[in-house]
C-alpha cells in the first residue's frame, strides 16, 4: 500500500453512516480531492478535529476505489475562531463554495489554496472588514483562473482618458463614456473603487488584502465584484443572503 502525503484544507464534509465522513479537501499538489474518513465521528477519535471544515492539515492518504482513504492527519491551522462565530462562518462558507467551484482533481491548486489561507487569516482579524475581504478574495481568485478584468483603459477602444468611470460586465473591464452605450451591462463607479480593482489585480496575494475603502467605494466595489463573479462563473451565490437577514 503506497501512502500519499498532501497538505490542504477541508472545504466540505458529509456525514456517512453512524461514524464516518466524506471530505472534500483542496490540496496544493493534487487539487480538489475526496477523502473517506472512517470512524472520525466517534467520540474521542484522534482525527475528529482535523476532519472538520476549515481545518488545514498535513494529510497521509492512500488510494481507494473511488476516493482517497484517510490514514492520518496533523492539523497545521484549525481556524477555530471562525467556526465559533456564525457571521464569520457564513463569510468563510461563501469563500469555500467559490474555491470548490474553481478547483479540480489532478490540477494543482497551490495559488488558490494560498489565497484561501490568506483570506481566512484576514477574516480572523476582528479589525478587518469581512465584506472587503471576501470581495478581494473573489476578485483575486477570478484572476488566478484567467478572468482578470481589463483595467488599463477602456476595454473597447483602449483609451486611457476616462472621466466618468464605468465597469462593463460584458466587456470585462473599465469602459469610457463614449463606448458605454455599446455595453449591454455596465455600472458607473467611483474613482476609489476603480483604484481598488486595479490595486487587487496588480498586487501579490499577501498584499492584496492590505488596504481599506470608504463606505461609498466599498459599496461600488462589492457591486462590481459580485456581479463580475456571478457572470464569469455563471452561478448565483446565495450564502451571503443569510447575513442580510440578521
Please tell me the distance from the alpha carbon of residue 132 to that of residue 194, in angstroms, as a whole number. 14
3-78, superfamily in CATH? Nucleic acid-binding proteins (2.40.50.140)
pLDDT tens digit string along 29-54?
999 999 999 999 999 999 999 999 99
pLDDT value at 240 more than 80:
no
Name, in order, each residue with C-beta under 8 angstroms of 245's C-beta and a sequence gap of 6 or more: none
Which pTM does this prediction carry?
0.94
Arithmetic mean of pLDDT, 8-25: 97
pLDDT of residue 241: 74
Chain center to CA of 56: 15
The CATH superfamily assigned to 90-244 is: Recombination protein O, C-terminal domain (1.20.1440.120)
Reported as a pLDDT band with limits 50, 70 and 90, residue 245 is: low
171: Cβ–Cβ under 8 A, 6 or more apart, which residues?
A: 150, 155, 156, 179, 183, 186
Residues with Cβ < 8 Å from 72, sequence gap 6 or more?
A: 47, 59, 60
Q: Please check the confidence at residue 243 and state whether its pLDDT lies above 90.
A: no
Domain range list for the chain: 3-78, 90-244
Q: In sequence order, which residues have a C-beta less than 8 Å from that of residue 232 and are 6 or more positions away?
A: 142, 147, 172
Query: Do the beta carbons of residue 166 and residue 123 sit within 8 Å?
Result: no
- What pLDDT does 162 receive? 81
- Whether 3-78 shares its CATH topology with 90-244 is answered no
Amino acid at each position: 500500500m503506497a501512502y500519499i502525503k498532501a497538505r490542504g484544507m477541508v472545504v466540505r464534509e458529509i456525514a456517512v453512516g453512524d461514524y464516518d465522513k466524506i471530505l472534500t479537501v483542496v490540496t496544493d499538489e493534487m487539487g480538489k480531492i475526496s477523502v473517506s474518513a472512517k470512524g472520525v465521528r466517534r467520540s474521542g477519535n484522534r482525527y475528529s478535529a482535523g476532519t472538520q471544515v476549515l481545518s488545514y492539515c498535513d494529510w497521509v492518504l492512500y488510494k481507494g476505489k473511488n476516493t482517497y482513504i484517510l490514514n492520518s492527519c496533523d492539523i497545521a491551522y484549525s481556524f477555530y475562531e471562525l467556526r465559533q462565530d456564525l457571521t464569520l462562518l457564513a463569510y468563510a462558507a461563501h469563500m469555500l463554495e467559490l474555491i470548490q467551484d474553481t478547483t479540480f482533481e489532478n490540477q494543482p491548486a497551490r495559488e488558490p489554496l494560498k489565497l484561501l489561507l490568506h483570506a481566512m487569516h484576514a477574516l480572523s482579524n476582528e479589525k478587518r472588514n469581512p465584506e472587503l475581504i471576501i470581495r478581494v478574495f473573489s476578485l483575486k481568485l477570478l484572476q488566478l483562473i484567467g478572468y482578470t478584468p481589463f483595467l488599463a483603459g477602456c476595454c473597447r477602444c483602449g483609451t486611457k482618458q476616462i472621466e466618468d468611470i464605468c465597469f462593463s460586465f460584458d466587456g470585462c473591464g473599465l469602459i469610457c463614456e463614449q463606448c458605454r452605450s455599446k455595453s449591454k451591462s455596465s455600472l458607473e463607479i467611483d474613482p476609489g473603487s476603480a483604484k481598488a480593482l486595479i490595486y487587487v489585480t496588480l498586487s501579490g496575494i499577501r498584499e492584496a488584502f492590505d488596504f481599506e475603502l470608504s463606505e461609498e467605494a466599498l459599496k461600488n466595489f462589492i457591486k462590481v465584484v459580485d456581479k463580475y463573479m456571478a457572470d464569469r462563473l455563471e452561478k448565483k451565490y446565495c450564502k451571503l443572503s443569510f447575513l442580510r437577514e440578521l
